[in-house]
Amino acid sequence: MKLMDCHVHIPALNQRDLEVMALSNVKAVIAHTSEPEVYKDIPSQSIFDFAERMVSFHAWRAAKYYIDVYVCTCVSMVGVPVDYEVALARLPEFVKRPDIIGLGEVGFEPNSATCSDLAVQEKILRAQMDIARDADKTIDIHTPLTDKPKWVDRYLGIIAEHKVNPAKVVIDHANETCVKMITDAGCWAGITIQPFRKVRAPEAAQMVKAGNMDLILVDSDSGIPESDSLAVPKTALEMKRLGMTEADIEKVLWDNPRRAYGIA
């Protein structure tokens, strides 16, 4: 059985993480941008340097464990450059590269230390919606920790306004309050298993079984906050305990990410 963790911040995965993931049938990860290795006063060039490092060094590092790395880049709200307009101007051409499979993760973050102004965040989000649509690339959208239905409803309105194909949108960090909202709209619901998000593998498996398995993804969001690099394999185990077949498990945890991001 093959598994994919479709949302990681790969610099946070050490060699031990990669080894145990490989031993647990994780064959691929999708690496997303967050803060590009600095905290404040980020120059726009850092975003592109960060993406290049994921494409080269981190992909090489994971390949030692037979894990493929697919890369998304963006202006993330937790790492907004001081000259973000420069990054937004460069992104449309940069994301056309075949080694960049999407934009992510974007989306509102009220607790951002680099841009607390939600009006500016919305401007950045809307610009990247257009970039993803015009490049025909998938966009991964971060949902804040609380009031998820409110944020999802706002995202769905923006998606419609910008005429973005819902099949090219992942609304991430979904939980039981909003999974159905997302899949009913034709978007991909990304269920994130992370201790501080209060979602564990058993709950994720229940959400998968009860939901639209054609439009659900599962990820660990492994990064700086407390995370579990084995979140996806643990969910596979819990799905099996619920009586789901290996074919269904592989469909959700391997085939769905490939379909969502257009990975051959």
Residue 122 has a pLDDT of 98
- What CATH number did the domain enclosing 146 receive? 3.20.20.140
| Percent of the chain predicted with pLDDT > 90 | 89
Average pLDDT, integer, range 46-61: 95
Residue 39 has a pLDDT of 64
Residue 68 has a pLDDT of 98
Tell me what the pLDDT averaged over the chain comes to.
95
Average pLDDT, integer, range 83-101: 97
Residue 225 has a pLDDT of 77
- Tokens 């009860």 label which residue? 210
pLDDT digits (tens, 9 = 90+) for 220-256: 999 877 889 999 999 999 999 999 999 999 999 999 9
pLDDT bucket at 48, cuts 50 / 70 / 90:
very high
Q: Residue 63, Cβ neighbours under 10 Å: how many?
A: 12
Could you tell me if 58 and 69 are in contact, meaning their C-beta atoms sit under 8 angstroms apart?
yes
pLDDT digits (tens, 9 = 90+) for 99-120: 999 999 999 999 998 999 999 9
Per-residue pLDDT for 37 more than 70?
A: no
Residue 38 has a pLDDT of 54
Average pLDDT, integer, range 79-105: 96
Average pLDDT, integer, range 12-35: 94
Q: Cβ-count burial of 201 within 10 angstroms (0-12 exposed, 13-18 middle, 19+ buried)?
A: buried
- For residue 82, the enclosing domain spans 3-261
| Percent of the chain predicted with pLDDT > 70 | 98
Whole-number Å distance between alpha carbons of 132 and 90: 13
Per-residue pLDDT for 200 more than 70?
A: yes
DSSP secondary structure string, 228-242?
A: -TTHHHHHHHHHHHT
Question: How many domains does the chain fold into?
Answer: 1
